[in-house]
């Protein structure tokens, strides 16, 4: 049931604070800054022996994997590869028992992700799935499953399942860092505190974002194309924002690493091209600002999502959406939500079938 919401997608967007809370609640001890993830089925010895991590997934789940690469390499110091499952399954895999393979799938039934998982199991690698559906096919085959507790997701566009995958991957990062001793316990405590704060922040911001995104959507409802830009751990969120928009509103959209602009896409910029960039005040802030200034110089229509209190971005952009300042590592989760709402509002104004977009199925069980 939609509980008064016009679409399942909107309901699921608004369920995110609760879904995120459910995903981390039983796994952290906020008082002592400790994590506990026995469901991984990995001993401390297994974890200390990991030489490489391979993440594989499709669609939005692949975007979650791309964010996790930044977190894991930064905080655990293990090299991470990210593969699209349909690519992974048709190339030579150099796996062995010291590789941890992590398939990520909301449904647990995606054909390519399952096939890739089976190859990984055969190679002798350790395989731990991140999945939302209890007892789904993948969970019956892998060594362990870290469940996202997002609850059933009906809308074809992944929303709460995606942000909960990010939460699960963040917990996994902190846990591996804890066992391998790669992060000071004080730092881990700070990160856990910020994670605990996140549902509160989202709950508070959601109604305002909904209104702001409705206004933005009115202005851009007729656009033919859209470019999403970001850098660092937020770059995959540019991909996710573009995927959301194209799948439910049928507007052509691309996500790009902002630094790649000058290697091609900048040729597309003119007065009709909306460019949305994520510019939170983090380590690559100056770089992204320099990139979007180039968009402005070419008269692109610039929308910036950045930090509340940033006095600079308002001067460059046609539209600014201010988001609260949180732990930078968690920005990928925070910045996803207004992009979901933007896609939703645009699709709604265009009269699209938001929950059941054309040509798409909720789970892709054929190759």
Contact pick of 13, 28, 65, 156 for ligand M6R (by CB under 6 A): 156
Contact criterion met (CB below 8 Å) for 149 and 22: yes
Q: At what angle do helices 235-249 and 59-75 cross, to 10 degrees?
A: 170
* Closest of 335, 362, 313 to residue 236, by C-alpha: 335
Site string for ligand M6R, 157-176 (x = CB under 6 A): xx------------------
The residue count for binding ligand M6R (CB under 6 A) is 17
Per CB under 6 A, contacts with ligand M6R among 109-138 are 110, 113
> Smaller CB distance to ligand M6R: residue 46 or 109?
109
Q: Which two tokens stand for residue 298?
A: 């070419």
Binding mask 3-42 for ligand M6R (x = CB under 6 A): ----------------------------------------
Site stretch for ligand M6R (CB under 6 A), options 25-33, 37-45, 104-112, 200-208: 104-112
Q: Supply the minimum distance, in Å, between the C-beta of residue 128 and ligand M6R.
A: 15
According to CB under 6 A, which one of 22, 23, 107, 340 is a site residue for ligand M6R? Answer: 107
Our CB check for ligand M6R shows the closer of 253 and 269 to be: 253
Q: How many other C-beta atoms lie within 10 A of the C-beta of residue 24?
A: 22
Q: If we measure between CA atoms, which residue out of 318, 281, 282, 286 comes closest to residue 302?
A: 318
305-364 residues in contact with ligand M6R (CB under 6 A) are 360, 363-364
When the beta carbons of 10 and 288 are compared against ligand M6R, the nearer one is: 10
What DSSP line would sit under 285-349, residue for residue? HHHHHHHHHHHHHTT-EEEEEEETT-SSHHHH-SEEEEE----GGGHHHHHHHHHHHHHHHHHHH
| Active-site residue flag, 2 | no
Task: Tell me if 61 contacts ligand M6R by CB under 6 A.
Answer: yes
Choose between 61 and 331: whose C-beta lies nearer to ligand M6R. 61
Using the contact rule CB under 6 A, the part of the chain among 54-62, 192-200, 274-282, 300-308 near ligand M6R is 54-62
The footprint of ligand M6R on residues 237-256 (CB under 6 A) is 243, 247
- Name which of 60 and 234 has its Cβ closer to ligand M6R: 60
The catalytic residue among 2, 48, 69, 362 is: 362
Query: CB-based contacts of 346: which residues, under 8 Å, 6+ apart?
Result: 217, 220, 221, 245, 249, 251
Q: Is the CA virtual torsion 34, 323, 168, 134 positive or negative? A: positive
Cβ-count burial 200-211 (b if 16+ within 10 Å, e if not): ebbeebbeebbe
Of 16, 22, 23, 60, the one binding ligand M6R (CB under 6 A) is 60
Out of 22, 23, 86, 105, the residue judged to bind ligand M6R by CB under 6 A: 105
Nearest distance in Å: CB 247, ligand M6R: 6
Q: Decide whether 150 or 289 has the Cβ nearer to ligand M6R.
A: 150
What number of CA atoms fall less than 13 Å from residue 139's CA on the CB side?
17
- The CA–CA distances, whole Å, from 21 to 43, 199, 237, 313, 325 equal 26, 6, 21, 32, 19
Closest CA to 335 of 77, 162, 187, 133: 162
CA distance 173 to 54: 14
Q: Which residues are catalytic?
A: 362
Name the residues that contact ligand M6R, by CB under 6 A. 58-61, 105-107, 110, 113, 156-158, 243, 247, 360, 363-364
């Amino acid at each position: 049931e939609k509980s008064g919401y016009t679409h399942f997608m909107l309901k699921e967007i608004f369920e995110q604070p609760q879904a995120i809370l459910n995903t981390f609640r039983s796994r952290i001890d906020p008082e002592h800054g400790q994590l506990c993830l026995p469901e991984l089925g990995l001993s401390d010895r297994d974890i200390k022996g990991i030489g490489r991590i391979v993440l594989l997934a499709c669609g939005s789940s692949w975007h979650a994997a791309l964010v996790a690469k930044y977190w894991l390499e930064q905080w655990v110091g293990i090299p991470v590869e990210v593969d699209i499952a349909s690519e992974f399954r048709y190339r030579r895999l150099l796996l062995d028992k010291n590789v941890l393979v992590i398939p990520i799938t909301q449904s647990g039934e995606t054909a390519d992700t399952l096939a890739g998982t089976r190859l990984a199991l055969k190679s002798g690698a350790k395989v731990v799935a991140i999945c939302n559906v209890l007892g789904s096919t993948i969970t019956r085959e892998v060594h362990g499953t870290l469940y996202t507790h997002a609850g059933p997701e009906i809308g074809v566009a992944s929303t709460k399942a995606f942000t909960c995958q990010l939460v699960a991957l963040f917990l996994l990062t902190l846990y591996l860092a804890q066992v391998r001793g790669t992060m000071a316990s004080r730092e881990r405590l700070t990160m856990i505190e910020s994670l605990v704060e996140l549902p509160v922040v989202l709950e508070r911001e959601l109604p305002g974002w909904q209104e702001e995104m409705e206004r933005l959507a009115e202005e851009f409802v007729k656009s033919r194309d859209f470019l999403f830009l970001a850098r660092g751990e937020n770059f995959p969120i540019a991909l996710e924002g573009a995927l959301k928009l194209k799948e439910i509103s049928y507007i052509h959209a691309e996500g790009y690493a902002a630094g790649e602009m000058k290697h091609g896409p900048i040729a597309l910029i003119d007065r009709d091209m909306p460019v949305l960039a994520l510019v939170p005040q983090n380590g690559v802030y100056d770089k992204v600002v320099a990139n979007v200034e180039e968009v402005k110089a070419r008269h692109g229509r610039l929308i910036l999502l950045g930090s509340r209190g940033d006095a600079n971005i308002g001067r460059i952009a046609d539209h600014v959406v201010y988001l609260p300042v949180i732990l930078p590592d968690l920005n990928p989760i925070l910045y996803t939500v207004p992009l979901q709402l933007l896609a939703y509002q645009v699709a709604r104004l265009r009269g699209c079938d938001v929950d059941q977009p054309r040509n798409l199925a909720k789970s892709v069980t054929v190759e």
